[in-house]
């Protein structure tokens, strides 16, 4: 088998795994309206499950990056896919909100081992184009998100929510095995020794911290729309499952293109700050638009959010890899650190949102989300772009 064919098969395996990964990331928000009766819980329960998931996926990012540096990205990706998929299968037989919360934490922890090492592998297979690689990874996520938010809500109304988790968990196991079979083995570097000093420099890198906080701003808007929109439209506005699913899916449908566009823009000019600020302002506006309690406003907010989040999610991680200027073994760790700040910080917005929705109304909850998103734009003004950064 030629090296080019081997790389192409590896890319296909990673894209397939990323699509199913996204389904298992997002489908709980789509099917929770059906789960809520069995679990005897409402919007506060959805907030707990969302928070638990993001706590798991956030705090395990740095350990995942360390594991990838020491053990290799392919092994780390494969382990993460299999752990998260088995936890999804366990969720299908759960009967209490606490059980599901614990399993969602495990799903998140497993997924934390996947993203950054996948970017490293994809960049390697695509000839070093970091922006294009992150864009492709994110577009695959968005395709999976479309299935998870729209397809799974339709499946669940016909077959029940438990069977849909059996399906997505089983597909996750299958794609994990595909990565094991098709991705080339991790190259061994006998001279590489993991350095705690390098770890400290990465964790204290100003640019990485700023990128993580800026990513949190755009990410929390995406988290709120993808997690709560379908439930909000059904429980508060009385819309059908199909309408709720397609509206919520806008947050992942549009980034299928805008993630790739953002990656190409970044590869051309390597100037992330302006694009990230514009994306954050777009996400803030999206949440404010969604605060009007009508179907049209909800749909417009989801569309605007989908346009805004794609470039941000690509540029943040491509810039993390490039601005850190570390050895290739540490690239996954730099991406993981930015992702850790973003995703760990995402555990509390769902709790704030569900509190405002329960104590006041959904309009207040969407406005609170917009305020959080806007405040997190401030750190981006302190981002040092490549030409401003001192050599490391």
At residue 56 the predicted structure's pLDDT band, cuts being 50, 70 and 90, is: very high
Q: What is the mean pLDDT of residues 180-191?
A: 75
Average pLDDT across the chain, whole number: 88
* Distinct helix (H) and strand (E) counts, the chain: 19, 0
Residue 387: per-residue pLDDT:
45
Q: Could you give the CA distance from residue 364 to residue 385 in angstroms, rounded to a whole number? A: 36
| Radius of gyration in angstroms for the set of CA atoms belonging to the chain, rounded to a whole number | 20
Compare 19 and 331 and report the one with higher pLDDT: 19
What local confidence, expressed as pLDDT, does residue 329 receive? Answer: 67
pLDDT above 60 for 386? no
In contact, 310 and 255? CB cutoff 8 Å: yes
Instruction: Report how far apart the first and last C-alpha atoms of the chain are (Å, whole number).
Output: 40
On the 0-12 / 13-18 / 19+ scale of CB atoms within 10 A, 9 is middle
According to the model, what pLDDT value does residue 193 have? 67
Stretch 148-152: mean pLDDT, rounded? 93
Contact 252, 141 (CB under 8 A): yes
Cα 305 to Cα 22, 204, 212, distances in angstroms: 17, 31, 19
Measure Cα distances from 41 to 68, 163, 296 in Å: 38, 20, 28
Lowest average pLDDT, out of 102-111, 173-182, 344-353, 375-384, goes to: 375-384
Number of other CB atoms surrounding residue 78 within 10 Å: 23
What token pair was written down for 370?
């917009």
- C-beta of residue 376 within 8 angstroms of C-beta of residue 214: yes
Question: Mean pLDDT throughout 281-293?
Answer: 97
Q: What is the pLDDT of residues 239-275, one digit of tens each?
A: 999 999 999 999 989 888 887 787 777 877 777 888 8
d(CA 59, CA 224): 19
Calpha distance 102→25 (Å, rounded):
15
Written as six digits, the tokens of 216 are: 């949190």
pLDDT tens-digit series, residues 170-185? 999 999 999 999 988 8
116 compared with 164, residue with greater pLDDT: 164
CB distance 289 to 297 below 8 Å:
yes
pTM of the model: 0.85
Q: Is the pLDDT of residue 317 over 90?
A: no
Q: Could you tell me how far CA 355 lies from the centroid of its own chain?
A: 23
Please give the domain boundaries of the chain with CATH numbers for all domains. 3-181+194-387 (1.20.1250.20)
Handedness of CA 312, 390, 64, 126 (dihedral sign): positive
- According to the model, what pLDDT value does residue 122 have? 87
Q: Report residue 117 as tokens.
A: 């090492």
Residue that the structure tokens 């750190």 belong to: 379
For residue 43, give both structure tokens. Answer: 């919007």
pLDDT for the residue numbered 392: 36
Identify which of 74, 392, 71, 29 has the alpha carbon closest to the alpha carbon of residue 208: 392
């Amino acid at each position: 088998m030629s090296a080019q064919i081997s790389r192409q098969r590896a890319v296909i395996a990673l894209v397939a795994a990323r699509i199913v990964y996204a389904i298992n990331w997002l489908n709980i928000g789509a099917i929770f309206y059906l789960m809520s009766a069995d679990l005897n819980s409402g919007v506060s329960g959805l907030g707990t499950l969302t928070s638990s998931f993001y706590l798991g996926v956030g705090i395990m990012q740095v350990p995942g990056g360390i594991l990838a540096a020491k053990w290799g990205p392919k092994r780390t990706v494969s382990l993460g896919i299999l752990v998260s998929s088995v936890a999804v299968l366990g969720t299908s037989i759960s009967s209490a909100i606490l059980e599901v919360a614990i399993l969602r934490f495990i799903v998140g922890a497993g997924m934390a081992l996947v993203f950054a090492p996948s970017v490293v592998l994809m960049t390697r297979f695509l000839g070093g184009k970091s922006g294009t690689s992150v864009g492709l990874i994110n577009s695959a996520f968005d395709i999976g998100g479309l299935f998870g938010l729209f397809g799974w809500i339709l499946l669940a109304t016909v077959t029940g929510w438990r069977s849909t988790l059996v399906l997505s968990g089983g597909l996750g196991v299958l794609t994990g095995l595909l990565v094991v079979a098709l991705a080339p083995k991790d190259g061994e570097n006998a001279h590489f020794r993991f350095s705690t000093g390098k770890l400290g420099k990465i964790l204290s890198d100003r640019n990485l911290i700023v990128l993580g906080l800026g990513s949190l701003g755009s990410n929390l808007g995406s988290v709120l729309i993808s997690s709560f929109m379908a439930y909000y439209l059904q429980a508060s506005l009385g819309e059908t499952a199909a309408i709720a699913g397609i509206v919520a899916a806008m947050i992942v449908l549009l980034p299928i293109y805008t993630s790739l566009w953002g990656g190409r823009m970044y590869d051309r000019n390597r100037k992330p700050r302006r694009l990230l600020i514009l994306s954050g302002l777009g996400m803030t506006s999206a949440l404010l638009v969604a605060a009007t309690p009508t179907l049209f406003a909800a749909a417009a907010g989801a569309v605007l959010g989908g346009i805004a989040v794609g470039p941000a999610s690509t540029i943040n991680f491509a810039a993390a890899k490039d601005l850190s200027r570390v050895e290739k073994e540490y690239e996954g760790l730099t991406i993981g650190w930015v992702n850790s700040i973003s995703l760990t910080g995402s555990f509390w917005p769902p709790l704030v949102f569900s509190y405002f929705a329960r104590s006041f109304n959904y309009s207040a909850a969407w406005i609170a989300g917009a305020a959080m998103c806007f405040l997190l734009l401030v750190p981006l003004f302190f981002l040092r772009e490549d030409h401003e950064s001192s050599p490391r």
